[in-house]
Each structure stands twice: as structure tokens, then as C-alpha cells.
Structure 1
Amino acid sequence: MTQQQSTVHEVNFDGLVGPTHNYAGLAHGNVASMSHEGLASNPREGALQGLAKMKSLLDAGFMQGVLPPQQRPDLGALRALGFTGSARQVLAHAANEAPQILRAVCSASSMWTANAATVSPSADTPDGRVHVTPANLQSSFHRYLEPATTARVLAAIFRDEAYFTHHPVLPATPAFADEGAANHTRLCESHGDPGVHLFVYGRRAFGGEREPARYPARQTLEASQATARQHGLKGDQTIFAQQHPDAIDAGVFHNDVIAVGNGPVLLYHDMAFLDEDATLDAIRARLATPLIPVRVPSEAVGLEDAVASYLFNSQLLSQPDGSMTLVVPGECQENEAVWRTIQDLLLAGYNPIGEVMVKDVKQSMRNGGGPACLRLRVVLSAQERQALSGRVLLDETLYADLTAWVERHYRDRLVPDDLADPQLADESLTALDELTQLLQIGSVYPFQLG
């Protein structure tokens, strides 16, 4: 490893849970989201749980970044759909005439920044810059509202054109359905080395392969291929593998609910890929270092337990000595089969995983997002980290400021009926206005209320 490569680190940019975090059951195919529909949420607890996870990883020596939530409710979207008048009138009309639309424009789903974009590090791209493509998230209305603001936020933070390249969102059509890094894994010897990009898709836009029967496949092969082309990735750098349709029908709506990779390690369920052997063979053929597959068989953890515990929606992080830490949600410890597998197969197995950290992210989990959903992985050199704009890399002071900000502005209870409250809209705008100043990211929100 060269001296320059040794300064390259993965930074996990976690999404802050927004002030309108609620359980509206909007995500078809997301079992946790659907099963908790209508329950009372606690936005303050959710935001503090997310911050606590970030802080614990910072304390453990990992680099941690922060991404802001989106402006919600999205009054611009409601007005585009024909609701007119003042903010109070728009919210009231939507609540009376189309409550599901109101719930959608109030969703805090941008907390799951694994869906924010696909990112390729400078070690892999032809121009030696970090490439970013925001995901179009066209498969669901509440997430389709995110990409415009996501693009502004990412452009504001990764601003320096000497180091960062931003690509347009793919066409928001079913043929190019793109869910971002939740269906993308980069494998390599170490983060500073050239890597291999595993893109996992659920269906071909123009047919020709088996598809799930119960729930929709949210990522197309065509979208993955287009993103790879945007980033200049070549055939020997990429693998395109189909997710197993039976897993999607069991509630595995993204690949990161059934597999996670880091360095040369791929931790996956035996139902992750439609053609497991071909996928592993393709990775081995392209990876410059031996692949370390860590396979969890269905006999140990069935699909139902995998989805309920989010074992594979864990963060797999590299330690300086080459070992790895697995960050799992508390639900893994509560599931006997999953916890036994972690102890007997993962920690005791022949692989670099040497430590497990259990984190409480229940507010996110009840909506179907575990530790891995909450973060966007960005591999950056020292120079690229210095080129970041804004105050977005977590440290003790920023953590304290963000915690105090949450305590000032967030409610501790929210039910779907509260979303029509114009006071909630005022509270959210006030909080986000303060946050943009705190993070020093400039004007990224429309901030139109009247």
C-alpha cells in the first residue's frame, strides 16, 4: 500500500432523522414499514438514536459524516397536485381529500441515505475524481420527491470540481428505476486500492428473466448499467447480478437487506442472488485479491428471520489491523437463531469479522431501515476530505450541537393525523433553517411556506 493509499478512508455519511418521522406504512414490499402503519412515532428519539450510533462509531475510530433531512411537508408537491391556498389550507385540503398523499409528502424517508446516491471513489474512475449519481427512487411517490434536494445537498458538500463529479439523476421511469447504493457494493483489498463494483438488480426493464411475483423489484439492470457508464466503470470493474426473486417476495426490497460487503469480504445469505455460483465466480475473476465469502445458509437463518432482524443490513467496517467490526441492530440480539449465527458462524469463522457492536435504532427499524440503510458510504482521500464544503464531518462539538438542535426542535410523539398540523410545518422549517446554518451548507431547501 502506498502512502497515499494509506490516507484513504471510508466515510459513512448518515442521514439525520427528520422532524416529521412517522409510521405511515408507505413502502409496499417493506414488511416492517407495512406492519407498523399508523403507530405513534417518536421523532426526537429516532434522531437521537441515529446520532448515538454515529457517535459510537466515531468514538471507535471510524470516520463519520452527516447529511441533513429533507424539507417536509413538501408543500410544493401538494401545490403541484392541485391543492391551493395558504399552507394551512393546502394541508387541510390534502388531509381531507387525499390523506395518503399528505402522508407521502411528510415522509422522513431521506434518513436512509443508502438510497441517496451511488458513489464511485477516485481510485476507480478514469478522471481520478469521486463520481456521484443521485438515485431517482421512482418506484414510490414519497421517495420520488427526494432526488432534487438530495442532488443539491450532495453538490453543496462535494462541491470542489477538482475532486468531485456529479451526474444527473437517471430518467424517472420504470425502465431506469434506481435505488442507489442499497443495491451497490464495492469490493477491494483495502479502501485505497482499485475495486470491483457489484451492482445487484431485481429485474430487466425489457424482460427476459424471472421476476418476483408478490412485491415489486425496485432496481433494474438498465439503471445499474447506466450508472456504471456515467462513472466510467469498465467491464473488468463491474458485475451485474440478479437478486433472488424469492427474497424480494419475502420482504428483501433492497440487496443491502440480504448482503453486505467490505474490503474483500462479502457477507451474504444463500438466497441473496439468483445465481450464487456465477456471482461469486465473476467477483473472483475481477477482484485483485482473494474474495472472502461469508455465507449464511437458510438452515441457520431463514429469510423471515433475516428480514425481521436485518442481520445483513448491518455495517461492516475495517479496523486498522485488518479485522472488521459488524454493527448490527438490537433486533439481531433478540432473535435466537440470528444471534447464535453471529456467535458461531461469523465471530468464530475463518473471516476478518472480529467484533460485533449492537446499536438501538428501533425508530428507524420499525419503518424498515437498519444501520446500513442509514448511511451512504463514500471513500475519500485526505485531500478529498479537506475539499469537502460545510461542517459535515462529525466530531465532539458537532455531535453536541446536533443533539442540542434535536432537543430544541423535535416532538417526542407523532401520529399520522398530526401531519396536517400547520404548526408541525412551521416547526420543521424553523429547525431546518437553523440546521443549514449549523452545517454551513448554504441554501439547499426551497423554504416556501406561505
Structure 2
Amino acid sequence: MELVEINFDGLIGPSHNYSGLSFGNLAATAHAGQVSHPRAAALQGLEKMRHNMALGLPQGVLLPLPRPNNAYLGALNADKDTDPAITAMAWSASSMWTANAATVSPAPDTADGRCHLTPANLVSMPHRAHEWPDTFRQLQIAFASTAHFALHPPVPSSFGDEGAANHMRMCTGHGSPGLEIFVYGRPGGRFPARQHEQASRAIARGHLLDPARTLFIEQNPDAIAAGAFHNDVVAVANETVLFCHELAFAEPEATYAAIRKSLPEAEIIVVPASEVSLADAVSSYLFNAQLVSLPEGGMGLVVPQECTEQAATSAYLACLIASNGPVRRVLPVDVRQSMSNGGGPACLRLRVVADPATIDPRFLIDEARADRIEQVIRADWPEMIAPDDLRSEALEAQVVAARQRLLAALDLEQLG
């Protein structure tokens, strides 16, 4: 069985809108009330998938959840006219950021030799807390082989869990045993700390991880206050490389020492605040990048185009490549619609190390399936959505029908 890393991107759904529901996410709140472009957003996300496939990387997809979530409105004894904020929560397309879909521990790390997945409960944000049952349904189908996968229920809502956005894995190769790093926040700061330490510890126990190869690290409160609402806004890891901001962790030197103790091969690239400030890191999403192992050797950093347009990050990336270190290529992608709502390339993907043959093929992407998805997007996704449109029955009918056509095109009507 050959284990490879597969990036499962969330396809941006037809209800993509800018309601500014994510407190602490500076981009989301800055663009609240603006007109969104769901068709352009989905095409940008699909193009990123194609971009990564062209690099020779395996690619998967997770599909938009049913929106508006009328069951959610019903549970609140509400309808579209009750409260604009509640209506927006029921319409939220934030499941596109599949870094928050689940935490994943590959088979080489677990005591039973299976890949373990725990969907995130996302209780810190009301507009996301109702995602997990539908996410769970997709994961049940995609990873149905109980011989190879163990799917857990979410952590109880007493503790907030936001999934892989606060989890990193370092290893000498994707198919080798790894060091799993859980990053949590402390409550009481300017913005809510969305990942609770006890949620991370509960997941590690459930995934049957070796305590000697598991770290629990506190995120720097200053990073959270600056808008790094998830760890993946200030740090990203791949195989032996950790790429992080100087102010990513509360105790950086102790963090680096613990990583090197468990993984002596670790290469830690620390970006000084004097070269890239926290504000620049958050606005450009320099660290919300995909750090990937290239088939030809070395690593590539898939970054938002904004990183090449901002002076500090552009200058830093030029020096990074010139240093002839492990990161050999900088690969910009256009995900502006997602960026405006607070999610870069890393937010849009969930990393799963597995044998592709053990996964339901309907969730794996090739050019033919990408073409089918594109046809549906171009024909059925709304061109634009303004905040007041969320009360429109005509828009609701269009969004529901668009998702149904996508499910039919991918032979996944059972998710309807």
C-alpha cells in the first residue's frame, strides 16, 4: 500500500457571500456587506486544484453543504425574516475552508495502523457550528473503508475544536511515522481562542497517538490579537520543514527544541517580524500557504497572489528562494474571493495521507471530473450575491438547484 498526501479542497459553494460573521477574522469583517461573486470564487478554487494537479500532486474534493440550512433555522424557530444575522448563518458557505473540516492522523502515527479523522465541532463560531453533521456524512462516504480509516464523532461542545487549521504534522516522508503538533489558544484575549487545549488532547487520545511523538503548543496571544485566528495563519509544516512567523508560538524556543528532539531532521524557517510584520503576515496570508513536496524534489510554497503584491512578503519570498534552502519554488494562485472572506490556499484544503485506492473515487479529482465541475459552476452558480439577496426565494431555489446538479454530475446524489 503506497501512502501519499492528498489535498482535499473544498469547492466554494453557490451561497458564497460576505456577511462578516467571523469575529477575529479581519478580512471577513472588513468585507462584510460587500457583493460576493460565487461563480468566480468557485472557478478560482477549481483552478487552484488544477494548478496543484499540474504539479503532479494528488487532488481530492469535498462538496458544498446544503444551504440555506433550513433545519438550522427551524431549530431556532426562525425563518428568513426573523434576524438578518441568523439568516446569514444558515446561508454560510464557510465549509469551503476544509482545513476546518477535521483533524487527520495518518496510519503510520496511530496504534491501530488506520488513518483517524475527527470532524471539528466549530462551536466557537455559530455560523459554523452547524456544519459538522453534513461534513461527517461526506467523510463517512469518502473514507468508508473501516479497514483503513477510523471516523470519530466531534469532540463534545464543552471544548472548541477547529480541525486541521490548528494541527501540523512533521515527518521524514508522508508514509513514515510523524510528529503531530497541536496548537491551541488561551481564552481572554482581544479575540476568541478558537482551539481549546482539551479538545486537542481529546483528539490525540482518540486517534491513538504515541505521546512521545505528540506535542501540544500554545499559540502566541499576540498573533491571535493580530488576526491569526487559526495557527495556519502564522505557521505551516510539511515533512521535515516548519515555516513560521517569529511570533507564531507563545514559547518559540521551547517549541523548536521539542520539535528537534522528536525529529532531529527538522528544518525550521523562522520569518523575523523585522522583515514581515504580523500585520503583513495576516493581510497577505503568507503562512496560509500550501507547503508541498514536489515530485521532482524540493518543496513548493503555494501562496495567494497577494503575497507577490505586498512589498514585505514579496521581498522576503525572493530571499527565501535565493537562499537555496528546502523551499525551491514560490507558486502564486488567485483565490481572491476566498481571501476576501478570510481564507487562503491552506484554508481551502484538508490534507489526508492515505492510499488513493482506499478512498471513494468520487471524491478524487482528475481533469475529466474537473471539467464536469466547471460546467456546472458556469451554468448554475450565481454570478453575484448581495447581503439582502439572502432573503430571496428565487436565489434560494437557484442555490439549491445548483448543488443538486453538482451532486448529479459527480454521482453523489446520496448527499442530497
- TM-score, with normalisation over the residues of structure 2? 0.98
Task: Give the superposition deviation at 1:429.
Answer: 1.7
Match of 1:231 among 207, 211, 214: 207
Partners of 1:12 and 1:375 within 8 A in 2 = yes
Determine if the alignment matches structure 1 residue 326 to structure 2 residue 301.
yes
Matches within 5 A, 1:147-162: 147-162=132-147
Of the candidates 223, 237, 259, which is equivalent to residue 261 of structure 1? Answer: 237
Counterpart of 2:266 in structure 1 is: 291
Q: Deviations over 1:325-363 (max 9, x none)?
A: 10000110110010000011x212252100011101000
Q: Counterparts in 2 of 1:193-204, with a 5 A limit?
A: 193-203=176-186
Is 1:376 equivalent to 2:339 in the alignment?
A: no
Match of 1:60 among 55, 64, 71: 55
Q: How many angstroms apart in 1 are the aligned matches of 2:411 and 2:176?
A: 32
Q: State the shift of 1:322 in Å.
A: 3.3
User: In structure 2, what is the Cα distance between the partners aligned to 1:270 and 1:12?
Assistant: 27
Q: Given the alignment, which residue of 121, 130, 135 partners 1:145? A: 130
**Superposition map of 1:12-411 within 5 A:** 12-83=7-78, 90-91=79-80, 93-94=81-82, 98-173=83-158, 176-203=159-186, 211=187, 213-287=189-263, 289-344=264-319, 346-381=320-355, 385-411=356-382
Match of 1:86 in 2: none
Task: State the Cα distance separating 1:374 from its structure 2 match.
Answer: 0.1
The AA in structure 2 aligned to 1:416 is P
Asked whether the equivalents of residues 162 and 195 of structure 2 are also in contact (C-alpha less than 8 Å), the reply is: yes
Q: Is the 8 A contact 1:125 1:231 kept in 2?
A: yes
The structural deviation recorded for 1:440 is 2.9
- Give the SS at the match of 2:268: strand
Counterpart secondary structure, 1:26: coil
Letter in 2 for 1:189: T
Instruction: Indicate the larger mover: 188-197 or 314-323.
Output: 314-323
| 2:2 is the counterpart of 1:11 | no
Paired letter, 2:171: C
Map Cα deviations across residues 148-177 of structure 1 (whole Å, 9 max, x no partner): 00001111111111111100111112xx10
Q: Output the CA distance in 1 between the equivalents of 2:297 and 2:109.
A: 21
Aligned partners of 1:380 and 1:179: how far apart in 2?
Answer: 22
Q: Deviations over 1:97-140 (max 9, x none)?
A: x1111011111000000000001111111111111100000001
Q: 1:390 deviation in Å? A: 4.4
What does residue 407 of structure 2 align with?
436
Describe the shift of the 1:366–1:24 C-alpha distance in structure 2 as closer, same or farther (beyond 3 A). same
Q: Give 2:17's aligned amino acid.
A: N
CA-based RMSD of the aligned residues comes to: 1.1
* 2:393 aligns with one of 413, 422, 425: 422
1:59-79 CA-to-partner distances (Å, cap 9, x unmatched) read: 111111010011111111111
| Paired residues of 1:389 and 1:441 also in contact (CA < 8 A) | no
Query: Aligned residues: percent identity?
Result: 48
Verify the 8 A CA contact 1:324 1:354 in the aligned structure 2. Answer: yes
Q: What is the SS of the residue equivalent to 1:141?
A: coil
Flag the 1:440–1:237 CA change in 2: closer, same or farther, 3 A. farther
- Contact map agreement 1:212 1:246 (CA 8 A) in 2: no
Contact kept, 8 Å, 1:134 with 1:180, in 2: the verdict is yes
CA distance in structure 1 between the partners assigned to 2:395 and 2:106 by the alignment: 39
State the alpha-carbon separation in 2 of the partners of residues 237 and 183 from structure 1.
17
- In the TM superposition, what is the alpha-carbon distance from 1:443 to its structure 2 partner? 2.0
- Report if aligned partners of 1:243, 1:273 keep a CA contact under 8 Å in 2: yes
Contact 2:184/2:217, CA 8 A, preserved across alignment: yes
CA distance in 1, matches of 2:273, 2:279: 10
CA deviation after TM superposition for structure 1 residue 442, in Å: 4.6
Q: Which runs of 5+ in 2 are unaligned?
A: none
Q: Distance in 2 between matches of 1:123 and 1:58?
A: 25
Shift of the 13–44 alpha-carbon distance from structure 1 to 2, 3 Å rule, reads same
1: distance between equivalents of 2:250 and 2:18? 32
Residue-by-residue CA offset, 1:294-334 (whole Å, 9 max, x unaligned): 01000000010000000000000001343001000011011
CA contact (8 A) 1:46 1:362 kept: yes
Secondary structure in 1 aligned to 2:49? helix
d(CA) in 1 for partners of 2:295 and 2:51? 17
Is the 8 Å Cα contact of residues 391 and 438 (structure 1) preserved in structure 2?
A: no
In 2: Cα distance, 1:181 partner to 1:123 partner: 17
CA distance in structure 2 between the partners assigned to 1:396 and 1:234 by the alignment: 39
CA distance in 2 between counterparts of 1:303 and 1:389 reads 40
Quick one: which amino acid aligns to residue 167 of structure 2? H
Rounded Cα–Cα distance in structure 2 between residues aligned with 1:126 and 1:429: 42
Secondary structure at 1:152's aligned position in 2? helix
Give the Cα–Cα distance (whole angstroms) in 1 for the partners of residues 233 and 213 of structure 2: 23
Could you report, residue by residue, the CA deviation over 1:363-384 in whole angstroms, capped at 9, with x for unpaired residues?
0000100000000000112xxx
Shift of 1:430: 1.4
Query: SS of the counterpart of 1:371?
Result: coil
Cα shift at 1:212: 5.1
Per-residue CA deviation, residues 163-195 of structure 1 (Å, 9 max, x unaligned), is: 11100111112xx10000000000001101100
Per-residue deviation, 1:290 = 1.1
Alpha-carbon separation, structure 2, partners of 1:56 and 1:297: 30
